[in-house]
Amino acid sequence: MLEALPPSLRLISEARPLIDVRAPAEFTQGSLPGAVNLPLMTDEERRQVGIAYKQQGQEAAIALGERLVSGEIKQARIAAWQAYLVEHPDAIFYCFRGGLRSQIAQQWLQEAGIERPRIEGGWKAMRHVLCQRIEEAAEQPILVVAGLTGCAKTTLINRLENGVDLEACANHKGSAFGRKPQAPTTQIDFEHLLAARLLALPGRLVVEDESRQIGNANIPLSFWYAMQRAPRIRIEMSLDWRLNQLQHDYIIQLEKDYVAHFGPQQGWELMQLQLGNALIRLEKRLGNARLQRLQRLQTMAFKAHSEGNPQAHEAWLAPLLTEYYDPLYRYHLEKQRATAAPDIHVGDWESCLEAARQWST
């Protein structure tokens, strides 16, 4: 498969370093996997050049750009590219359409004695072929791993060579409590990361049973419909087992992530805020009385946690599972049964892992 990829997609499959010379606002909306933003122009410079282009034409816009990015500013932009190329000498440039901005970057570097290629067609062309890869993957055989919250479905997916971790692409764990310290992935970046993963997987795919929306991103419709039609395996584990899993994922690991990102004090405070706000987001479905009860239990659990007993969170996690997530999942399951094929396997985590491996081969 990798050998058969066109050169443009091999850049992604090989995780080649890329230099995105578009403005920061463009980069924030969505970039290519492996790209760093070292812009030719700032957002304000780009805005001014855009106005000149609309009002006076291309020549006037180019002339304004040359005046805005000149002297020490120009040298600083070139120095940033040079510094990155010292660490990543095989990096490749791109801009929106592979046109003027990446050509200018090439030219300035050539004048400094450095030759680097650019992506023909730029971001726009690459986005087209990446989205096309997702459309193609929707026609491949897909297996969906289902199960109640806390059944470690994501862990199972990542044990498989052909597993596609949709939550990793979204940088979100797929529930109200799934936010991470880093910002969730944008829709464009989610699609690009998903396509990049799919490049190495021409055969059977295994994915987790997800809602269409994960964090800020939606699974592309063609792939989502394919997931709804796909055969399934379902993990069944005890409540105690699932609580231990949630304790690790949503308390222990979440605290480590926040502390690593923000430091001990601020990380601890922001983790509490995140989990508290997650409960509030469920108010309409929980009802006010149940929400207040869970909030009291959560507050007491955080106090016990701060005194060295993180296990105390089971006091609010257990009713959250049994009174909210489990009934919601069973309702979802009953709706699926009306149109979906029967589960091809139901069992504990280890047996489902083996069933997924057998289906994959």
Residue 83 CB: number of other CB atoms within 10 A?
Answer: 11
Which is catalytic among the residues 95, 151, 169, 352? 95
Q: Which amino acid appears at position 216 of this protein?
A: N
Query: CA separation (Å) from 90 to 11, 67, 147?
Result: 11, 30, 44
pLDDT tens per residue, range 202-247: 999 999 999 899 988 999 999 999 999 999 999 999 999 999 999 9
pLDDT tens-place string over residues 250-304: 899 999 999 999 999 999 999 999 999 999 999 998 999 999 999 999 999 999 9
Instruction: For residue 92, give the DSSP letter.
Output: E
Question: Does the pTM of the predicted model rise above 0.85?
Answer: yes
Average pLDDT score over residue span 7-18: 86
Active site (annotated) includes residue 169:
no
- pLDDT exceeds 90 at position 41: yes
Q: What is the mean pLDDT of the chain?
A: 92
Chain segment 155-211, per-residue pLDDT in tens: 999 999 999 999 999 998 877 787 888 888 999 999 999 999 999 999 999 999 998
* Predicted local confidence at residue 6, as pLDDT: 65
Residue 150 gets which letter from DSSP?
Answer: T
**Domains in the chain, ordered, with CATH?**
7-130 (3.40.250.10), 142-361 (no CATH)
Residue recorded with tokens 């289902």: 146
| Gap between the Cα atoms of 208 and 163, Å rounded | 9
* Residue 127 Cα distances to 23, 31, 60, 131, 345, angstroms: 17, 9, 30, 6, 37
Dihedral, 28, 31, 36, 41 alpha carbons, nearest 10: -60
